[in-house]
């Protein structure tokens, strides 16, 4: 669908542009501002400084946008979050998919092993021989070799006397060079699997805003730890296997610069940095340019100083805190009510200052996490300037739900 919308030159604010572009469309609706997306993609490439960027699909969940970004210089490959998703992407032309999480989906593993195209394109993530055995069984049944990547725990472990702390997510049990070498040796003893590379996802650097001095200290310590430990893990695994690895993946949108500064890193992953959701507003490593929004229409005015919009309860995953709620950004001067928040079928808003809303007005929100909101919409409208240039399906709009 292509639409052109005449714009008043005076209506240059973001909210006014989105209003003008989508006036003919019913709400709730999702939009991506292509001008902001272009700027964010260019900024990621600049920060990567020549290191390839793998696009994290879970932070996009719109195949059209994934393919558009992959066509740009500096981007190469997708990090998928599901094996079934990876198979679907390969069917639609993606030729390099690293799955960011282990799988025990035996049916999907069998489908992978049965497809020469998928075998060449897909790399599985493992951190336990139990996962490896499932992959090996499927590979041996079809007489193929499946590629695997070792997920290395990139969290920071610190000790002060008897006090020990694990700073970061509880992800992989493989942390030390010895851990990694032992897993690599166990894989080498099994037929049908080949270790292609390593992944280090430093969530405490890439996924934490620079919100306090304590957080910034943890980030500095983590970056220093990984600058040493990545190379030691890589050496240990290569010694155990007897051949060099071709893939060392690291980072996320919030840690691109620090990750690429390590010479052993061959690629970085980024996804949230394309749409820039609210959880990325306090990063110092890049200038956030919000690109993804959703719009709700005001359906009633329950009292002076309040307005109620239809729908909007798109709460992000993670700890159930206020930071996981969507944020109204246009018109300015709006906030969620603390008692109700963003609701399943209605979202009450409190008006402050000169804010004024009437029945039928449109309110624009940002989601806390980049790709998650796309699970709530069948299509997303791509806006450039003050016009919708195209409306494309989300994963959900293509009838795809990968969990």
Helices (H) and strands (E) in the chain, counts: 12, 19
The topology (CATH level 3) of 14-28+290-398 is Lyase, Ornithine Decarboxylase; Chain A, domain 1 (2.40.37)
Q: What is the pLDDT, as a whole number, of residue 371?
A: 94
Token representation of residue 231: 């190379």
> Where are the chain's structural domains?
14-28+290-398, 34-274
| Contacts with 33 (C-beta within 8 Å, 6 or more apart), sequence order | 14, 17, 18, 290, 291, 292, 293, 383, 384
165 Rama sector, left if φ>0, alpha if ψ -120 to 50, beta otherwise: beta
Low-confidence ranges of the chain (pLDDT < 50): 1-10
Q: What is the pLDDT, as a whole number, of residue 4?
A: 38
Contact assessment for residue 264 and residue 238, using Cβ atoms and an 8 Å cutoff: no
Supply φ then ψ for residue 310, to 5 degrees. -80, 135
Angle subtended at Cα 399 by Cα 112 and Cα 36, rounded to the nearest 5 degrees: 95
Residue corresponding to tokens 């270790």: 195
The CATH number of 34-274 is 3.20.20.10
The DSSP result for 78-98, as a single string, is EEES-HHHHHHHHHTT---EE
Please state, in angstroms and rounded to a whole number, the distance separating the CA atoms of residues 300 and 308: 5
Q: What is the pLDDT, as a whole number, of residue 320?
A: 83
**Cis ω on the peptide bond leading into residue 215 (within 30° of 0)?**
no
Please state, in angstroms and rounded to a whole number, the distance separating the CA atoms of residues 35 and 142: 46
Q: What is the pLDDT, as a whole number, of residue 287?
A: 80
62-121 residue pLDDT tens: 999 999 999 999 999 999 999 999 999 999 999 999 999 999 999 999 999 999 999 999
Token representation of residue 106: 């035996």
Q: What is the pLDDT, as a whole number, of residue 161?
A: 65
Contact assessment for residue 364 and residue 294, using Cβ atoms and an 8 Å cutoff: yes
Spacing of C-alpha 88 from chain mean position: 18
Q: What is the pLDDT, as a whole number, of residue 226?
A: 85
Nearest to 96, CA basis, from 130, 52, 134, 129: 52
pTM over 0.75: yes
Spacing of C-alpha 60 from chain mean position: 6
């Amino acid at each position: 669908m292509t639409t052109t919308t005449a714009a008043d030159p005076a209506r240059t604010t973001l909210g006014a542009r989105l209003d003008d572009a989508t006036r003919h469309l019913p709400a709730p609706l999702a939009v991506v501002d292509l001008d902001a997306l272009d700027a964010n993609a260019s900024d990621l490439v600049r920060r990567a400084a020549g290191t390839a960027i793998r696009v994290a699909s879970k932070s996009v969940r719109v195949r059209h946008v994934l393919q558009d970004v992959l066509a740009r210089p500096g981007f190469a490959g997708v990090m998928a979050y599901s094996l079934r998703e990876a198979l679907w992407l390969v069917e639609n032309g993606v030729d390099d998919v690293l799955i960011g999480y282990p799988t025990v989906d035996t049916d999907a593993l069998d489908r992978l092993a049965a497809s020469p195209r998928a075998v060449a394109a897909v790399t599985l993530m493992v951190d336990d021989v139990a996962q490896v055995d499932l992959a090996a069984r499927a590979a041996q049944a079809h007489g193929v070799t499946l590629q695997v990547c070792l997920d290395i725990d990139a969290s920071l472990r610190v000790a002060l006397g008897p006090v020990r702390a694990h700073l970061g997510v509880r992800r992989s049990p493989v942390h030390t060079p010895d851990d990694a070498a032992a897993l690599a040796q166990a894989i080498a003893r099994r037929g049908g699997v080949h270790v292609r590379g390593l992944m280090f996802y430093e969530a405490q650097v890439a996924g934490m805003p620079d919100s306090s001095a304590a957080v910034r200290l943890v980030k500095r310590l983590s970056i220093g730890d990984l600058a040493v430990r990545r190379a030691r893990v890589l050496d240990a695994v290569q010694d155990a296997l007897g051949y060099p690895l071709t893939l060392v993946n690291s980072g996320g949108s919030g840690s691109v610069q620090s990750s690429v500064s390590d010479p052993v890193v061959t690629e970085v992953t980024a996804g949230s940095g394309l749409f820039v959701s609210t959880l990325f507003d306090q990063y110092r490593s890049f200038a956030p340019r919000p690109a993804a929004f959703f719009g709700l229409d005001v359906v009633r005015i329950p009292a002076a100083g309040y307005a109620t919009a239809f729908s909007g309860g798109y709460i992000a995953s993670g700890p159930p805190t206020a930071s996981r709620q969507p944020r109204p950004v246009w018109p300015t001067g709006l906030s969620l009510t603390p008692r109700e928040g963003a609701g399943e079928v209605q979202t009450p808003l409190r008006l402050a200052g000169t804010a004024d809303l009437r029945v039928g007005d449109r309110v624009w929100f940002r989601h806390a996490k980049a790709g998650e909101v796309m699970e709530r919409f069948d299509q997303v409208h791509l806006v450039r300037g003050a016009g919708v240039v195209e409306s494309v399906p989300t994963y959900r709009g293509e009838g795809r739900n990968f969990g």
